[in-house]
Amino acid sequence: MYNRKEKLIKLMFTILAFSSLLFLLGIIIVLFKESLPVFKNVNVFDFIFGKHWYPTYEPPEYGILPLIVASFWVTIGAMFVCIPLGIGSALYINELASPTQKQILKPVIEILAGIPSIVYGFFGMLIVAPFLQNLFNIPTGLCAFTASLVLGIMAIPTVTSLAEDALSFVPKSFKEASYALGANRWQTLIKVVIPASMSGISTSIILGMSRIVGETMTVLMVSGGSAIIPNSIFDPVRPMTSTIAAEMGESAVGSEHYSALFAIGLILFLITLIFNVIAEHISKKHRVKLGLNR
């Protein structure tokens, strides 16, 4: 009887595991199927490296380089925010905070992770953007800098949580050996703990970057929506995700414009997939390095 139950449970979990692969395969097929028609009239090189995105012009121009550059600028700017704050928070929680402080800080960070992205968007649009506009005396606060700042804050919980997990996997014997050799807490943290957990910390950074690249609603609300190559971080921009969200409802199903938006989604999917593959590779190296691979 128990063998039957075990087989049934095993079969159920096997089906669930393979269903995830089927969903992923279905997404890939739909993206390729819907995006290929645009490449009948537009060269792939011109699509990726074209400098003008004017889908409603006659003839239309489908160059997504401004969208790629905007996504790159916003992502890099957000990483400058979330990496120091996220890694610093993880180090403090894991190594320096008292038990009482940990009980307060960890739930607060988890609450930040649970806030819907549209709430961050409203906060950025109504509070952060006017503040930055007055502070830097710029024409509009809805720009790449604002998007980077808000997205960086959004990614902090992801980076902090994963980095803190990586730090917690460092064996206590490493720290004890460092203290036995006369190192203080700061030297142990910098010379022993961080190098031993660097692979896991790198994974947290890459996954945080994936979260930033794939965010839609927040960048749609605070980036400014200008599909041009920016000259500075204070210029309005339109990343790839916000372009899809803003224009999908305006394009006719089956049209060239509709197909071009799916092609943007395909490129975005491939970028995110690469980030996740790299993160998994680094995470595996981290487990092997610490002898945690089973």
Residues 115-134 have pLDDT tens digits of 888 899 999 999 999 999 99
63 close to 46: Cβ distance less than 8 angstroms: yes
Query: What string of DSSP letters covers the chain?
Result: -HHHHHHHHHHHHHHHHHHHHHHHHHHHHHHHHHHGGGGGTS-HHHHHH-S-EETTSSS-EE--HHHHHHHHHHHHHHHHHHHHHHHHHHHIIIII--HHHHHHHHHHHHHHHHS-HHHHHHHIIIIIHHHHHHHHT-S-S-SHHHHHHHHHHHHHHHHHHHHHHHHHTS-HHHHHHHHHTT--HHHHIIIIIHHHTHHHHHHHHHHHHHHHHH--HHHHHHSB---S--SSTTS-B--HHHHHHHHTTTSPTTSHHHHHHHHHHHHHHHHHHHHHHHHHHHHHHHHHHTT---
Cα distances (Å, whole numbers) of residue 217 to 59, 85, 148, 244, 270: 30, 23, 13, 11, 20
CA distance 176 to 180: 6
Q: Sorting pLDDT into bands at 50, 70 and 90, what band is 294?
A: very low
Kindly report, residue by residue over 87-114, the tens digit of the pLDDT. Answer: 999 999 988 888 888 888 888 888 888 8
Q: Sorting pLDDT into bands at 50, 70 and 90, what band is 287?
A: low
At a CB cut-off of 8 Å and minimum separation 6, what does 240 contact? Answer: 64, 67, 68, 70, 71, 264, 267, 268
In-domain check, residue 1: no
Per-residue pLDDT, 96: 83
In-domain check, residue 25: yes
Rg of the chain over all Cα atoms, to the nearest angstrom: 23
Kindly report, residue by residue over 200-232, the tens digit of the pLDDT. Answer: 888 888 888 888 888 888 999 999 988 889 888
In-domain check, residue 62: yes
In-domain check, residue 294: no
55 close to 41: Cβ distance less than 8 angstroms: no
In-domain check, residue 2: no
Counted domains in the chain: 1
Residue 45 φ then ψ, to 5°: -65, -45
In-domain check, residue 270: yes
CA distance 257 to 263: 10
Please check the confidence at residue 283 and state whether its pLDDT lies above 70: no
Average pLDDT (251-267) is 92
Q: Count other C-beta atoms under 10 Å from residue 257's C-beta.
A: 17
**pLDDT over 70 percentage in the chain:** 95
Q: Count other C-beta atoms under 10 Å from residue 12's C-beta.
A: 10
Cα distances (Å, whole numbers) of residue 179 to 79, 98, 99: 33, 19, 21
Average pLDDT (152-176) is 88
In-domain check, residue 48: yes
Which pTM was predicted? 0.85
CATH number for position 174: 1.10.3720.10
Q: Sorting pLDDT into bands at 50, 70 and 90, what band is 81?
A: very high
In-domain check, residue 144: yes
Per-residue pLDDT, 286: 57
Please check the confidence at residue 289 and state whether its pLDDT lies above 70: no
Please check the confidence at residue 3 and state whether its pLDDT lies above 90: no
Please check the confidence at residue 2 and state whether its pLDDT lies above 50: yes
204 close to 159: Cβ distance less than 8 angstroms: yes
CA distance 266 to 264: 5
- Whole domain around residue 184: which residue ranges? 9-289
